[in-house]
Amino acid sequence: MDANNVTAICATLIALLSLAVSFLEARAVRQHNRHAVRPLLELWTPRRHGDRTGIQLINQGLGPAIITRTILKLDGQVLGGWDQPTVDQMRASLPARPGAMTVRPPRAIPVGFHSFLLSLDDFDREQHAWFADLIKRRIQIEIHYESLYGGENFKTTLHVDPPA
């Protein structure tokens, strides 16, 4: 083997290693970009005496959340999705009709979004004990969502079913 062959083999190896490094770097950049726009939906249940109280949907993430599916359960029974007919059916069984915002897939929830899904204005702990019990124990909500990239199947849940 002469010097020309050794030089050609070394040049080929360096080119292949450069290609591998470029491929790994591009993959890391794509993964970073996906994480840079990851949404993070949370369901909060603030109960403030004399103030607006209920179930609040918040996007704490860095990107918009695309809602793909919702599930509403009341007392362990699936009523349907968090859509207008299902929420109206649930509210009809309550002593008073709380305010509601429905989420029908596919819907984009922007960064920084925060709004009540179900709420009572001017909450009174004694007068509205039924509502506190509803949001604390009786109602279960699942929201399945994705980022703009899609395919992740993220999920946020209010009151997970107890293990059987």
Query: pLDDT tens digit string along 24-41?
Result: 888 888 777 766 778 999
What H or E segment, with its residue span, contains residue 146?
Answer: strand 139-146
What is the residue whose two structure tokens read 């001017």? 122
> What's the chain's average pLDDT?
87
Contact assessment for residue 46 and residue 53, using Cβ atoms and an 8 Å cutoff:
yes
> Is residue 73 helix, strand or coil?
strand
Residue 78 pairs in a beta bridge with 73
Q: Residue 1, exposed/middle/buried by CB under 10 A (0-12, 13-18, 19+)?
A: exposed
pLDDT in tens, 152-163: 899 999 976 555
How far is Cα 38 from Cα 17, in angstroms, rounded to an integer? 32
Domain boundaries, the chain: 1-36, 41-158
Provide the pLDDT for residue 162. Answer: 56
Per-residue H/E/C for 82-131: CCHHHHHHHHHCCCCCCEECCCCCCEEECCCCEEEEEEECCCCCCCCHHH
pLDDT in tens, 67-88: 999 999 998 899 999 999 999 9
pLDDT in tens, 113-138: 999 999 998 888 888 889 989 988 89
Average pLDDT over residues 142-146: 95
What is the residue whose two structure tokens read 């969502």? 145
Q: Residue 93 pLDDT more than 80?
A: yes
pLDDT in tens, 98-109: 988 888 888 889
* CATH of the structural domain 41-158, one choice from 1.20.120, 3.30.70, 1.10.40, 2.60.40: 2.60.40
| CA-wise closest residue to 150 among 25, 41, 65 | 65
Provide the pLDDT for residue 125. Answer: 85
